[in-house]
Amino acid sequence: MELRAAETPDDTAFFFTDDKGVVVQISCRAFYDDVRALGTYLLSEGFKGEHVGLLGANSYEWLVVFFALTTTGNVAVPLDARVPVQHLTQIMQYGDSRRLFYSVEFEPAMPAFSGAIRDFEGFPLKDLGEAIGKGREKLSAGDASYRDFVIDREAMCALVYTSGTTGTPKGVMLSQKNIAANINQACTNFILEGNGMSVLPFHHMFGLVVGALMVFNYRYPCYIVRNLRNIARDFQTAKPECLFVVPMVIESFAKQLKAMGRRAGGQVTPEMVKAFTGGNLRFIICGGAPLQAQYVKLFRNFGIEILNGYGITECSPVLAVNRNEDMCDGSVGPVLFGCEVKIDEDGEILARGDNIMLGYYKDPEATEKAMLGGWFHTGDLGHIEDHYLFITGRTKNLIITSSGENISPEELEDKLLLDAAVAEAIVYEDNGALAVMIYPEPEADVPECYFDALVDKMNQGEPGYRAIRKVSLRTEPFVRNSTGKIIRNL
């Protein structure tokens, strides 16, 4: 950041379309000045080693807060804006966070935070300008606290929550060294030569590290998509050379292009795709979940190469990605330079390198299990063929949606099992949506619709991607293995 401000001060670092439809360009110098001023303000306000929540849709302000926190010895705790407030307060309590930067739509939720968290302090992102202004005044008066602060690159700078295989989400502790290593490793693998467009939410490491920080490191402008519903307009403004997305976005683009073809009374043409995507799109980096091969072929026909990659939050997040000139269909590409990957005797993918997390927050047992033998155990199965990594399955029961969300079925099943009428339940994925099969308690005298209502009620407390869309009942108990565990493959 400092280097770019010095070497390319007038180049655009980030740009976005504001609420009034005006395109705002932020230069490298302006970005650094904002971060420096906010960092100075935070230090003067006693932010020292704090775990600070960051809640809101993608925005320039979000990035400024992230950089200011992580360069002043504080820990940024990115939070998923779609998670119900009750869960967010639990996550903050578990993560020892009492301060929160939030976007305006969360204003009504602030009483819930202050009610649940002792000494809670909320900072609206809409007022960030004031804090930056105060920081600037301090800088003008000679405050050198930000400049003089010595960053410990090995210390935790981000605490990122990910769905674990059991009940509570796990807090992944990442250091500056982890994240910087991953940016440098990934930048060697894939070469960007134009604007990047950041589509995925910043609370996901893929959205933040790859979608924004990597583009910044490439020295190309990064367009921030603030609301996905405006993406058609954003393409025309951003004119990206590359997009960073999850499969769900590609599936949706494919539908929109098909619709475009229908409206034109025929097939969609490369010219139509070019017009839709702003004219410069050459690459789409896709990760977070497996993508069906048909989409790679479809977009290749339009002159756009989808480069599949593979990552996991614990690896900051990228482990492998196909490259512009070195790709193999069906694989997730070559392993990143500087990162070691091996396949163990059970077929599990293990990784080692500077990008591997420090551990799980307050969970030494889970950390030890994940880092057994000095290698991070990804929980994914795969093989390496001619230096390309292929993913073949998972050792855990996590359900990965096409939007890249990890859902622990056991977590939802445990909630259902709290109801006396549910004897056994298995949550699984059915055609891209969550479904549940329930074996009712034989003694319970309830109609079938009771279970629909039960699931509907449970869904109300869940974000959309965790809602169960289909309920079916069975008349026999599930088959169990020799250790008494239900055999999940229905």
The two beta strands, 23-27 and 12-17, are: antiparallel
4: closest CA among 85, 65, 67? 67
**Contacting other proteins (CB under 8 A), which of 110, 231, 417, 423?**
231
**59, 16 in Cβ contact below 8 A?**
yes
**177, 354 in Cβ contact below 8 A?**
yes
Whole-number minimum distance, CB 246 to other proteins, in Å?
9
When the beta carbons of 93 and 230 are compared against other proteins, the nearer one is 230
| Beta-strand runs (E) in 402-475 | 406-407, 422-430, 433-440, 468-473
**Contacting other proteins (CB under 8 A), which of 27, 195, 313, 403?**
403
The answer to whether 252 contacts other proteins (rule: CB under 8 A) is yes
Tell me if the bond preceding 317 is cis, omega within 30° of 0: yes
The answer to whether 431 contacts other proteins (rule: CB under 8 A) is yes
Backbone angles phi, psi at 420, to 5 degrees: -65, -20
Q: Tell me, by CB under 8 A, how many residues bind other proteins.
A: 25
The answer to whether 256 contacts other proteins (rule: CB under 8 A) is yes
Whole-number minimum distance, CB 111 to other proteins, in Å?
18
Interface region with other proteins, contact rule CB under 8 A, candidates 58-66, 163-171, 243-251, 482-490: 243-251
Whole-number minimum distance, CB 229 to other proteins, in Å?
4
The answer to whether 471 contacts other proteins (rule: CB under 8 A) is no
Q: Is the Cα torsion angle 307, 308, 313, 314 positive or negative in sign?
A: negative
**Contacting other proteins (CB under 8 A), which of 228, 366, 384, 423?**
228
What the block records as the tokens of 355 is 């990008």
**N- to C-terminal Cα distance for the chain?**
51
Amino acid sitting at position 409: P
Tally of CA atoms within 13 A in the half-sphere of 375 that contains its CB = 14
Whole-number minimum distance, CB 57 to other proteins, in Å?
9
Interface region with other proteins, contact rule CB under 8 A, candidates 83-91, 115-123, 184-192, 230-238: 230-238
Whole-number minimum distance, CB 103 to other proteins, in Å?
12
Find all residues with CB under 8 Å of 262, minimum gap 6, and list them: none
The answer to whether 255 contacts other proteins (rule: CB under 8 A) is yes
The answer to whether 402 contacts other proteins (rule: CB under 8 A) is yes
Please give the residue ranges that form the binding site for other proteins (CB under 8 A): 105, 228-232, 248-249, 251-252, 255-256, 258-259, 262-263, 402-403, 431-433, 464-465, 469-470
